[in-house]
Amino acid sequence: MKSRVATLTIALLVLPSVLLAARKHPSAPAKKENPGTPIDYDKLTTEATDFLSNEIRINTTNPPGNELALAKMIKEKFLSEGIPATVWEPQPGRGIVAARLHGTGRHSAALVLLSHLDVVPVNPKEWQVPPFSGQVRDGEIWGRGAIDDKGPGAIELMAMLAVKRAGLLLNRDVIFLATGDEEEGGRNGAGWMVAHESDVISDAGFVLNEGGGIMARPNGKHYYGVSIAEKTPLWVRMTAQGGEGHAAAPPEQTAVTHLVQALQRIIEYRSPIRLIEPVRDYFHDIGELDGGPPELFDLRRALRPNSEFLQRFLSVPRQNALVRDTFTPTMLQGSPKTNIIPATATADIDGRLLPGADPKEVLANLGKVINDNSIKLDVTLNFPAASSSRKSLLMTAIDKVAENDHMRVVPMMIAGFTDSHYFRQLDITAYGFIPIELTPAEEKGVHGIDERISVKELGNGIRRMVGILEAIGEN
């Protein structure tokens, strides 16, 4: 009897993961279970607004993250709709949640809707509203994570629920995956999932993640900006050594002065310009949208040394970041007291490398730029860059929705990085695109103050996401 009970207990423990695993045997073609069941997007938007507000109220600032409570809340939402879902705890308090909406099994390549649960730190004194209140004010949902990345996750979740409630059977499975730790590199989130629970995504063929959206040009034209490539981080900690002593009688050089001089050399350093294919194609498409300037149609030639166009082009920080590696000092640490000369001083450098760069060569070159043997360089975060093809069934589905909005799709590279690289390294096509348009004020809220998303655009995002699911579910 004890053996039978033990067997049953083990079965119940593994059941959620089994339900989330890939379906091995195909079944009938796609169909609609309940023909004629309409999707009430107004009602869905109200529900999504309430849910996102509740998500924001769970403080998942990373570090330390503490995403577990939010992961469990999302799991319960899926389970209440009859969609299998599971939560994992990679480390105490950290959380990951996945859910699978089964299709007909006609196609084996599942679509993963990826988001992250953690958010960056915030100074509440700078905000108009408490950053973890989830307030709905002036038609917008306010709070840390409203855009990065709880809002996009809510759009993905509600789109899956809309498909389920409408009785739509897609030709492939859709997997919801919300991880933690993305803001610190994802090792305890997407990286852990890929390393320890890969069966959940073993049938994944496509990933849709943050990193792109609906964008506007100065002439009023809009486009779907879809990230197919990203820069990769090369985060470096510089440690300068020197003698400790009293600041009243300073020596000619200290750890701090060595560090300051090294930082100045890095600030003045300009890495070589390198134009990669996705960036070249992006500016060509932008040139077509804007009607010029003509240099955008032959950017490689236009970026020749000492040209007037080159200086104008590089004066825009985002454009500069798309054609060269960048190195930005972000954190400094020295003495704990004003009157003590510290034995060591450190600075953290946020380096971003273009795809194809060799991190070892870049690090060696930084050492030459600094030219100071008293300074040690240690890499704190780096991983290989990976890109995805601009041609795929997922891009075709996004194209179809863009056409309905009378827009075109423009593939691009982003200067930042996301968890997409974990999946691209598995040869899974991964795109950065959330189908919403942000105002300039909303864009400034990402990693800034007064982060918020409009209720209207939240609803538009759900409608467009359902369109993407339907389109890829037909192919």
pLDDT of 25 over the 80 cut: no
Looking at 291-337, list the stretches that DSSP marks H as alpha helix, in order from N- to C-terminal side.
Answer: 299-302, 308-314, 317-323
Coil vs helix vs strand at 343: coil
Name the phi and psi angles at 212, rounded to 5: -155, 175
Tell me phi and psi for residue 86, to 5 degrees: -140, 145
Give the mean pLDDT of 438-454: 96
Letter for the amino acid at 365? N
Indicate whether 28 pLDDT > 50.
no
Which tokens go with 14? 């593994």
Q: Is 270 helix (H, G, I), strand (E, B) or coil?
A: coil
In 306-464, beta strands by DSSP E: 326-333, 340-341, 344-353, 375-382, 408-414, 429-432, 452-454
Q: Kindly report whether the global pTM for this prediction surpasses the value 0.85.
A: yes
Distance linking the first and last C-alpha atoms of the chain: 50
Find the mean pLDDT for residues 344-364: 97
Q: What domains are defined for the chain? A: 31-228+386-474 (3.40.630.10), 235-382 (3.30.70.360)
Q: Which residues contact 196 (CB under 8 A, 6 or more apart)?
A: 88, 90
Nearest to 368 by CA among 288, 441, 266, 282: 266
Q: Residue 29's pLDDT band (boundaries 50, 70, 90)? A: very low
What phi and psi, each to the nearest 5 degrees, are found at residue 228? -110, -5
Which stretch of DSSP H or E encloses residue 153?
A: helix 150-165
What's the pLDDT score for residue 16? 54
The H-or-E segment that residue 88 falls in is strand 85-88
- Other beta carbons within 10 angstroms of residue 303's beta carbon come to 18
Q: How confident is the model at residue 397 (pLDDT cuts 50, 70, 90)?
A: very high
Least Cα distance to 190 among 92, 88, 64 occurs for 88
State the maximum Cα–Cα separation within the chain, in Å, rounded to a whole number. Answer: 84
- Summarised one tens digit per residue, pLDDT across range 238-292 is 999 999 999 999 999 999 999 999 999 999 999 999 999 999 999 999 999 999 9
pLDDT in tens, 73-105: 999 999 999 999 999 999 999 999 999 999 998
Q: How far apart are CA 408 and CA 214, in angstroms?
A: 10
Element (H, E) at 195: helix 190-196
Whole-angstrom Cα distance, residue 416 to residue 380? Answer: 16
pLDDT in tens, 294-336: 999 999 999 999 899 999 999 999 999 999 999 999 999 999 9
Partner residues linked to 119 by β-bridges = 61
Segment 276-291, tens digit of pLDDT: 999 999 999 999 999 9
